[in-house]
Structures are given as C-alpha cells and as structure tokens.
Amino acid sequence: MKNNQPARRLGLRGWVYAGKYSFERYLYLGHRLSGLGLVAYMVLHIVETANRMRGEQAWAELMALFASPPFKVIEYLLFALAVFHAMNGIRLFLVELAFFSGKPQEPVYPYKSSVLKHRPLTYVVMILAGLLMALGGSSLFFP
Amino acid sequence: MPGEKIITFRIRRFDPEADSAPHWESYAVSVFEGMTVLEALHKIKAEQAPTLAWRSSCRMGVCGSCGMFVNQLPQLACQTQVLHLKADVISIEPLPNYPNVKDLVPDLQPLFEKHTQVKPFIIRLDDIQEMEHPAGEFLQTPEEREAFSQFTYCIKCGLCLAACPTVATDPHFLGPQALTQAYRYSADNRDDGVYNRLDSVDAFHGAYQCHMAGACSHACPKGVDPAFAIQLLKRTLVLDHFGFGKKEAQTAAVLPLADVVKALEEFAPPPRTVK
Ligand code: HEM
Ligand code: SF4
Ligand code: FES
C-alpha cells in the first residue's frame, strides 16, 4: 500500500528528550548545548572586544563591569561549559573511533552494549571535568 | 489470577480514512504477571476496541514487526512485559520518525530503502567469476566470522531509527540499521570491504552524522549494538582516509565444491531422535 503520510519526526524534541536512555544520551545533549554555547560566546567575545575601538575610557569601564561579581559567575559558568565540552569531547573522540568499547561478540542476554562497556571512560572524563571545574572555581573565586 | 493488576493503556488512535487528526483513547486492562504489551493489545482489541490496528506476527522477538513507542521508548510489544514497565498508565504510540499508516502501524519503508542503499550483500569485484558462477565456498575462520557476527542478528525492526536523535531531524541520514549492515558486510572477509559502499556511508548523510548518543544500542532488542558498528565503520573510514589499515584484497580463499562435499561427508549425522 502506498502511504502518503509524512514521517512523524520527533524533530528538536528528539534531540532534547533523553528520557529513559542511558547517561551517555544526556551527555550527547550536553555536548551539543555546550558546543552551541561556546559558539555563542565566541560571537559575544568578538562584539565585546570590539569595544576597544570606542576608546580607552569605554574599554576600562567595560573591564570594570566584567570584574563585578555577577560577571564572575557568568565567567565561571562559561569556563565550566568549556571544561565539560573538552572532557566529553575527548571521550567522544576516542569512542567514535571505537576505542574503549570492547570487541564485537555474540549477543547473549542480558546484552551489554559498547556504551556500557565504555562507561568507565565516561566516569573518568566526568570526574576529571569535575576536578578541573573545582580547581578553576577555587582559583577564580578565592585567588 | 493472583497478582492481577488494572493498568490503563493510553493508545494513540488514527485512521487516516476516517479521522482528520489523531486522538488518544484509554483502555483499562486487567494485567497478569508475565503478560506482554502485545497480549494486552490483543485483549483490548477483543474486548474494547475491535478496530485497533497494529502489526505483529511471530510474538517472540524474531520477525521485527511489533515495534512501537511504549512509554516513550521504542520497544517490541511482544518482548515487553507490562508489569516490568512499573507504571499504572502506559502510553503506546506508533514508532516515531516513520510515517504512520494507521493506529500503531508505522510505515517502515524508509528503513528498507536506507538498508538497500548500503548494498547489504557480499561484493567481490576481484573474483567476479566465482561470484557469478560459484565453484565452491569462500573460506572463513571462526575469528573472521566473529568480527561481524554480532551485527548479523538484526531483525529490521527499526527501533533504532525511532530512538536516534539524528534521524529525528535528518530524513536522509542512513541511520543505525543501514550503517550497521554496511559495516557487517564490509568487515566480512568474503567481501571486498568498505570501498564499494563509500558513496553512501562516506557521504554527508552517512556515518559521520552519528554523534554517539548511544540511543540505538539502548533500544535494540537483539543486542546488535548498532552504535558500536557505526563507530567501527568510522574507524575503518578514518584509517582508510589516512592510508592505514587498508585491507589487502580480501583473503577469503575458495574451497572447491568437491572438497566441501567431502568435508560434509566426513561429519557423522547426529543420532536419530524420532523413529
Ligand atoms: C579542547 C577543546 C574541544 C574539544 C576536545 C572538542 C571536541 C569536540 C568533539 C569531539 C565534537 C564532535 C562530537 C560529535 O561527534 O558530535 C565536538 C563538537 C562540537 N564542538 Fe567542540 N571541542 C572543543 C572545543 C570547542 C569550542 C571552543 C567550540 C566553540 C567555539 C566548540 C563547539 C562545538 C560544536 C558547536 C560542536 C557540535 C556539537 C554537536 O554536533 O552536537 N568546541 N567538539
Ligand atoms: S539494529 Fe537492532 S533495533 Fe535496529 S533494526 Fe536491527 S534489530 Fe532492530
Ligand atoms: S511480533 Fe515478531 S518481533 Fe514482536
């Protein structure tokens, strides 16, 4: 039978909704959001540094604003975003070349997928990310 | 029966010939220990909703026709026990990312079209003569078979495409099932390798659209681990791109038919179990 219905694509909900899937499915979402966040920051960063063209006075005022506590927090969030993205990026780089994922094997129930097999790596990079975030936070807020 | 429990099934109903839009219907069913979602659907159809449509056949996880979106996860209705879902209300929709034919019936045509795009069969350009007029069998050691055996268990149920976040927005992405089969044949030492499939897998909608969310492997009911096959495929493509690991014209030698027959004759048949 020829069916002319359009596909019921999940669309953006399919990216965002990680539901009952595994932890790595949430990292997929986090990686995408942090990547987009970093791109957004790059744009803002160019806009921000362009203020130097408005003279030394304007630049000094802007820098004073960025030294204020709310901007410190924003700066820290940005740092945390970058750390998460970089650490998870290292995991993705390795796993997408099939490292740390075991070998193909006969599927015997209960199945253990390559995602579960590389979970130790997931934990290692997340713990590293946490350590870096703590270190960065302590040097930013308690210099 | 002891341990029976009333469970509410919220089912997305849609008859394109009668309805202008889909709607949800609720059915209360008394569920017993061990009852599958498929059995519950049969009960609903028998007692409450005679027009309810879905697709199933083997009711044992082999034919791959009963995939549906049960409580927001793509699952086989025949392999999913209702009480294992640990919910009093269970929602059932047709598999997402496919057209909907009626009620719970998805149109799996996109799956089959993508599957054919990766040429899921042995291609052996260096030995056309043997391919066209076989005179024996290509040899394969158990280790050589293990390299891809896991990926041969695919039942084409399409759950992985319903789970995949890339398929959710990219209609042309080959998807976990087809890419897995591309690897399954490319890793087979009787095949020439990935070179004959580059036009589909090394292309924009090919292997690199996979971002390793791992949802397909989570959903796969047969333990095929499509996410793993795709990463192995990427590794093959990357190594090939940088000039490493290029498989020599593959090694599987031909065992002449006479030798195959001889080898078979040396096997004693198993003892009869039926008079
Ligand atoms: C050490 C630094 C970084 C590492 C190791 C890294 C690693 C990665 C990797 C491996 C991917 C591909 C993941 C996939 O398969 O989907 C990726 C995606 C991406 N990265 Fe980075 N990255 C880094 C820095 C950055 C920076 C500075 C930016 C922003 C300017 C950025 C923006 C993105 C974006 C937008 C994506 C696409 C996300 C997606 O498709 O979901 N990354 N990164
Ligand atoms: S890879 Fe698994 S989920 Fe995908 S079609 Fe094959 S059996 Fe179904
Ligand atoms: S009915 Fe065959 S797989 Fe479920």
Q: B256 falls in which pLDDT band (50, 70, 90)?
A: confident
Rounded distance between C-alpha atoms, residue B194 and residue B201, angstroms: 9
Q: Is B61 in the pocket of ligand 3 (CB under 6 A)?
A: yes
> Which run of H or of E encompasses B137?
strand B136-138
Say what percent of chain B tops pLDDT 90.
Answer: 76
CATH of domain B5-106: 3.10.20.30
Taking the CA atoms of residue A82, residue A84, residue A85 and residue A88 in that order, the dihedral angle to the nearest 10 degrees is: 150
Comparing CA positions, the residue from A14, A29, A24, A94 lying closest to residue B231 is A94
pLDDT of residue A74: 94
Rounded distance between C-alpha atoms, residue B236 and residue B242, angstroms: 10
Which ligand number lies closest to the CA of residue A92? 1
DSSP state letters, B177-216 = HHHHHHHHHHT-TTS--GGGGHHHHTSTTSGGG-----HH
Mean pLDDT of B103-116: 97
pLDDT of residue A1: 47
3.40.50.620, 3.40.47.10, 3.10.129.10, 1.10.1060.10: CATH of B109-241: 1.10.1060.10
The rounded mean pLDDT for chain B is 93
| Residues of chain A positioned with their CB less than 8 A from the CB of B222 | 107
Higher model confidence: residue B134 or residue B53?
B53
pTM of the model: 0.92
pLDDT tens-digit map of B177-186: 999 999 999 9
pLDDT of residue B23: 97
CB B162 within 8 A of CB B99: no
B247 pLDDT higher than 60: no
pLDDT of residue B274: 81
Residues 13-32 of A with CB under 8 A from B: 13-15, 17, 19-22, 24-25, 28, 31-32
CA of B55 to the centre of ligand 3 (A): 8
User: Exposure of B47 by Cβ count < 10 A (0-12 exposed, 13-18 middle, 19+ buried)?
Assistant: exposed
Which residue among B100, B149, B213 places its CB closest to the CB of A104? B149
**Shortest-distance Cα residue to atom 41 of ligand 1:** A32
Give the DSSP letter of residue B36: B
Rounded distance between C-alpha atoms, residue B194 and residue B119, angstroms: 10
pLDDT of residue A25: 97
Instruction: Give me the residues of chain A with pLDDT under 50, please.
Output: 1
Which residue among B153, B211, B217 places its CB closest to the CB of A113? B217
Which domains does chain A show, CATH number per domain? 21-141 (1.20.1300)
A2 touches chain B (CB under 8 A): no
The full set of domain ranges for chain B reads 5-106, 109-241
pLDDT tens-digit map of B193-226: 888 999 999 999 999 999 999 999 999 999 999 9
pLDDT tens-digit map of B142-168: 999 999 999 999 999 999 999 999 999
CB A125 within 8 A of CB A90: yes
Q: B246 falls in which pLDDT band (50, 70, 90)?
A: low
Q: Is B219 in the pocket of ligand 2 (CB under 6 A)?
A: yes
Q: What are phi and psi of B92, to 5 degrees?
A: -130, 125
